[in-house]
Amino acid sequence: MSVPARTLRATPGQTVGPFFAYGVEYDRMNQVVHPFAPGAVLLGGTVYDGAGAPVPDAFLEIFAADSDGRMPRVRGAFRRDDHTFAGFGRAFTNDDGRYEFFVRNPGAGAGHPALFAAIVFARGLPDKLHTRIYLPDDPDSLASDPFLASLEGAEQATLIAERRPDGSLQHDIRLQGENETVFLAF
Partner 1 sequence: MTPPPAPAPESLTDTPVRASQADITAEIDALHRSFEQRELSGERLPSTVHDFPAYRSSVLRHPTKNLKLVDPETIELLSPAFGQRDVAAIESDLTIQHAGEPLGERMTVSGRVTDSWGRPVANQLIEVWQANSAGRYIHQRDQHPAPLDPNFTGAGRLITDDAGEYTFTTIKPGPYPWKNHVNAWRPAHIHFSVFGSSFTQRLVTQMYFPGDPLFALDPILNTIWRQKDRDSLIAVYDHELTSPEWTTGYRFDIVVDGPDATWFENDDERGEQS
Please, which of residues 47-86 interact with partner 1 by CB under 8 A?
Answer: 49-51, 53, 55-57, 61, 63-65, 71-79, 86
Residues β-bridged to residue 102: 31, 42
Return the number of the residue (83 or 166) whose C-beta is nearest partner 1: 83
Centroid of chain to Cα 102: 12
- Name the amino acid, one letter, at 46: T
Q: Does 111 bind partner 1 (CB under 8 A)?
A: no
Selected binder of partner 1 within 28, 34, 128, 163 (CB under 8 A): 128
* Contact present, 136 and 164 (Cβ < 8 Å): no
Q: Does 91 bind partner 1 (CB under 8 A)?
A: no
Return the number of the residue (25 or 162) whose C-beta is nearest partner 1: 25
* Contact present, 78 and 26 (Cβ < 8 Å): yes
* Contact present, 123 and 18 (Cβ < 8 Å): yes
Selected binder of partner 1 within 101, 121, 135, 172 (CB under 8 A): 121
CB of 160 to partner 1, least distance (A): 15
CB of 47 to partner 1, least distance (A): 9
10-40: string of b/e by CB count within 10 Å (b at 16+)? eeeeeebeeebeeeeeeeebbbbbeeeeeeb
Q: Does 20 bind partner 1 (CB under 8 A)?
A: yes
Binding-residue pattern over the window 151 to 180 for partner 1, x denoting contact by CB under 8 A? x-----------------------xxx--x
CB of 136 to partner 1, least distance (A): 17
Return the number of the residue (41 or 125) whose C-beta is nearest partner 1: 125
What residues contact residue 131 under an 8 Å CB cut-off, 6+ apart? Answer: 118, 119, 120, 159, 173, 181, 182, 183, 184
